[in-house]
Amino acid sequence: MSRRGWIGSIALVSALVCYPADWYPNSWRITIAHWLGPAGYRPLPPAVVISPDATATGAEAAEPACPPDPAAWREAKEIEGVAIRRSPNCVADDPFAVAAFVRGTNNVSLQTLLKSGLTPDAVVKGRDLDGDGDPDEIHIRLEVVELNGGSPEAQLPVTQFAIAPGITPGFWVFAPKTTGMATENFESNNARAILRLPSPAIRVEQGDRVQITLENAHYLPHTIHFHGVDHPFLDANGEGNDGVPITSENPVLPGRARTYEMQPRQPGTMFYHCHVQPHVHVMMGLQGMFIVEENRPDNWVQTLNIGAGHVRAPSVASRESFDREYDLHYLDIDLELNQLIQQHNDPRVINEWLHQRYNVTQATADMFTLNGRSFPYTFRESLIITRPDERIKLRIANGGMNPVALHTHGHKTTITHYDGVEAQPAARITRDVVWIATAQRLDLELETTNDGLHSYGSGVWLLHDHQGRGITNDGIGPGGNVSAIVYEEYLGEDGWPKTFGMKWNRFFDERYYRGAMSVFEDERFAPVESDGWRLLRLVGLFVALGVIAGIALSMLRQRLKTNR
Amino acid sequence: MKYLADTAPILTLLICSSVLAATPTVVGSPATATQSHQHHADHQMQFDASGMVMNSNSTELPRGCTAISRDYTFEISAGTKFAARYPGTTYAMSEHEYTVDPCSRVTVTFINTDEVRHQWMVHGLPRYLYPQGMFHLEAAGGATQTGTFIVPSDDRTYLVHCDITQHMEKGMKGQLVVGSGSGDLWAVPGISGAFNNDDYPVTYGFLVLALAVTGGMLSTLWLLWR
């Protein structure tokens, strides 16, 4: 046999030997197994254990579950005569901003104003029109702010707002008018606490003369539509007041401002959002809750609730009937959309991608937020904290593209209002899964009386969308809008719940949500390392195939030579 | 790291810190307040509904300066209308580069021609003179703010920008060149290019590239088979 023949035969045999056994048809494998008996033992590839704990080698480690609160924002305070309730959650709103929103940025001291970071005209409160001891002229100024946006020079999103460890989709939000830098400081890339998702919950009193000025500091046109809030189609000057570009007005261009006017006659939990290309702009985060409180004497309401959540200075009507009040704003996110503003910088190119190329009919939601964050960050700031025998008002809005099937562990809540309209007491439903359609609002009454119906007693009881996708971060659980109802006896000093399950550090490691870590702590479930043996066989197979191809080519060359 | 650290000024800018949010104790009326800062300089801070002037300094000399070398006055307008000169921006200024002598005194009048806030914020100034290393003018929609500061003695290029989200990214970026400066910053409209560029369309791109490949192939064949 020629040299070529020898080499060819060896290569052919090697290829057959190296060819992975499981690639042969099953019937052949069974026949061969009958001839040869069981294969020899070889140790299977080992696991890679990735620990979320800090290591001496300087490897990545998880962030702390509950960051410190150096400025004591969580504590109860009296600022500018405003009683601000304690916020027992690990992360609380800035109490100086709360005070400025209650009194009005025109009525507080310069010191409070500077601490809040607001401009003097952010929330202006004017005359008491009905003489009942509280202001009834309210002028709110909102700017459009971009979070996690792109940059012509930076490699990371700028003005960052992480909704979960390592997850920073781009957002647009309405934000109160602030002054100074948008980040915590010049070294930091993190947005200031007041600039965040979701857009703030707006609170006014029934009968207030409300003006809301949209100062469009963004690079695309926007408007505001007041969904469910009593407002005239045209304002006093005959200009469009409904926020809809196709029926009431032209959009507010970059650098321009417009003032909307209304005097809502009916109380209730409502909604507001941008109405320019709403299938894109609403989903980018330009949406917030709008609450009209019942008129009461001396009713100084907290005009804005930053990031929704715990209401630290509740209205008179709320204090009459409830021990605590929470605003819960649900929003799901299609990462494919929200990444576009990071991938492009030229506003013309961004406009084309968002409005001409992105197709919302093919959208799938990937992230599921409650008050702008996904689990585990929801546990920092959106726990419903209670004591036994309390009555709690939960105002819920679903701004997402999908409905939410909100389930309360350990409790059955009563739906008191649908879309801001009170349900007749006889028609009220008490249940443990409430279905909230897109843009719908529900007011729930949570009673923590341990009667086996309203509550099953103290504990750390989950509160979450019961649809599978809603409890994941882009498919990895636990994530999404998972939060909890926590009784104070189960709450630590720092606001973190006392739990009896898995360690928390795993969920505060961004590698967990990149899918790099096992979902279990037990090392027996750690992901498997590369299978060296299989790699060796495949390399052998491909070398042999290469040799065979080389022989074939040399034969072809010879044939061509002889022909010539 | 916040910005691409390529040129010296950016690196030095990263050293400066702190926020407006971490406000020192302030006393006085809302119209004008003096910061009780332990350092000298007339750190007048003006703050009202028309905006703010922060860390104005017209008398205290930076280290290394023996006298004010020269006085400069800049009148800088800002807004959407200036962006028309630079395709792909939304906000811009009448000028994006300001060249001054070391140890000179710079008075800036910042005119906002839009209906939203704008800022003219310098970073990286010596922190012993300018808290947080900043000189900051902020003008509410339609407002004008004026402030003065004295630049240090060394040749350096300082970042000037508007820190409202996306305003720098969409055009409101400038550079203050002291002396001969220390190199251009990235992405200053009319001055320097971007590091991350968008994928702009190329007309007849496929056809042109197909012709280019074919042309290259045919000319090589012709050369070799000749």
CATH code of the domain containing A303: 2.60.40.420
CA nearest to A181 within chain B? B163
Interface of A with B in 142-161 (CB under 8 A): 143, 145-147, 149-155, 158-159
Chain B partners within 8 Å of A119 (Cβ): 49, 117, 140
How many whole angstroms separate alpha carbon A476 and alpha carbon A462? 18
Residues A85 and A29 in one domain: no
Q: Which of A314, A347, A372 is the last residue of a domain?
A: A314
Quick one: A295 and A162 in the same domain? yes
- On whether residue A14 sits in a domain, the answer given is yes
Q: Please provide residue B17's backbone torsions phi and psi, each rounded to the nearest 5 degrees.
A: -135, -170
Structural domain including A551 reads 3-45+530-563
- Asked if A110's CB is within 8 angstroms of B47's CB, the reply is yes
SS3 for A413?
strand
Distance CA A278, CA A284 (A): 9
Note whether A218 contacts B: Cβ–Cβ < 8 A.
yes
Residue A40 sits in the same domain as residue A95: no
Tell me if chain B has a CB within 8 Å of the CB of A120: yes
Interface test with A, best of B89, B164, B184 (most A CBs within 10 A): B164
- With respect to residue A450, please indicate whether it lies within any of the assigned structural domains: no
Report the chain B residue with the minimal C-alpha distance to residue A343.
B198
Could you say which of A283, A314, A345 is where a domain stops? A314
| Same-domain pairing of A35 and A85 | no
The answer to whether A255 contacts B88, with C-beta atoms less than 8 Å apart, is no
Query: Would the CB atoms of B18 and A185 count as touching at under 8 Å?
Result: yes
Q: Which residue of B has its CA nearest to A191?
A: B165
Rounded Cα gap, residues A495 and A474, in angstroms: 27
- Together in a domain, A109 and A41: no
Strands B97-100 and B105-112: unpaired
Cα distance between residue A56 and residue A28, in whole Å: 52
Phi, psi of A388 (to 5 degrees): -60, 150
pLDDT of residue B66: 97
Alpha carbons A98 and A111: distance in angstroms, whole number: 14
Average pLDDT over residues A492-511: 94
Is the domain of A86 the same as that of A31?
no
| Same domain (yes/no): A220, A92 | yes
- Do A17 and A148 fall into the same domain? no
Q: Do A219 and B47 touch (CB under 8 A)?
A: no
State how far residue A313 is from chain B, nearest Cα, in angstroms.
22
Please tell me if residue B11 touches chain A, with a CB cutoff of 8 Å.
Answer: no
- Proportion of chain A above pLDDT 90, given as a percent: 87
Question: What are the pLDDT digits (tens) for A49-80?
Answer: 888 875 545 556 778 999 999 999 999 999 99
* Residue A493, domain member (yes or no): no
Nearest to A110 among B30, B141, B170 (CB): B30
> Could B123 and A186 be called an inter-chain contact, meaning their C-beta atoms sit closer than 8 Å?
yes
Residue A92 lies in a domain: yes
pLDDT band at residue B162, thresholds of 50, 70 and 90?
A: very high
Q: What is the pLDDT of residues A427-436, one digit of tens each?
A: 999 999 999 9
User: Domain extents for chain B?
Assistant: 8-224
Closest approach of B115 to chain A, Cα-based (Å): 5
Closest partner residue to A179 (CB to CB) among B20, B27, B199 is B20
Q: What is the pLDDT of residues A308-353, one digit of tens each?
A: 999 999 999 999 999 999 999 999 999 999 999 999 999 999 999 9
Same domain, A37 and A86: no
Lowest mean pLDDT among A9-18, A510-519, A534-543, B34-43: B34-43
Is A109 a member of any domain?
Answer: yes
Q: What is the pLDDT of residue A154?
A: 86
Please report whether residue A422 resides in a domain.
no
Q: Which residues lie closer than 8 Å to A222 by C-beta, 6 or more apart?
A: A144, A172, A214, A216, A251, A252, A274, A276, A281, A286
Residues 6+ apart with CB under 8 A from A153: B3, B4, B186, B187, B194, B195, B196
A354–B contact, CB cutoff 8 A:
no
Predicted local distance difference test score (pLDDT) of residue A55: 55
Looking at the structure, do residues A27 and A82 belong to the same domain, yes or no?
no
Closest chain B CA to residue A341? B166
Lowest-pLDDT choice from A48-62, A98-112, A494-508, B49-63: A48-62
Q: Which residues in chain B are contacts of A121 at CB distance < 8 A?
A: 49, 140
Give the chain A residue nearest B168 (alpha carbons): A151
Same domain, A28 and A83: no
- Which amino acid does the sequence have at A202? I
Of A113, A145, A184, the CB nearest to B19: A184
Same domain flag for A83 and A169: yes
Using the Cβ of A438 and the Cβ atoms of chain B, whether some distance falls under 8 Å is answered with: no
pLDDT at A534 over 80: yes
CB-CB under 8 Å, A254 with B80: yes
Write down which residue in A314, A335, A363 finishes a domain. A314
Mean pLDDT along residues B62-85 = 97
pLDDT of residue B7: 36
Q: Which residue among B140, B165, B199 sits closest to A149, beta carbon to beta carbon?
A: B165
Report the alpha-carbon distance of residue A506 to residue A511 in Å, rounded. Answer: 9
Residue B19 has a pLDDT of 34
Q: A-contacting residues of B 14-73, CB under 8 Å?
A: 14, 16-23, 25-30, 33, 47-49, 51-52
Residue percentage of chain A with pLDDT more than 70: 98
A94 at B interface, C-beta within 8 A:
no
- Record: contact B90-A152, CB cut-off 8 A: no
At the fourth CATH level, the homologous superfamily of domain B8-224 is Cupredoxins -  blue copper proteins (2.60.40.420)
Instruction: Residue B132: list chain A partners with CB under 8 A.
Output: 185-186
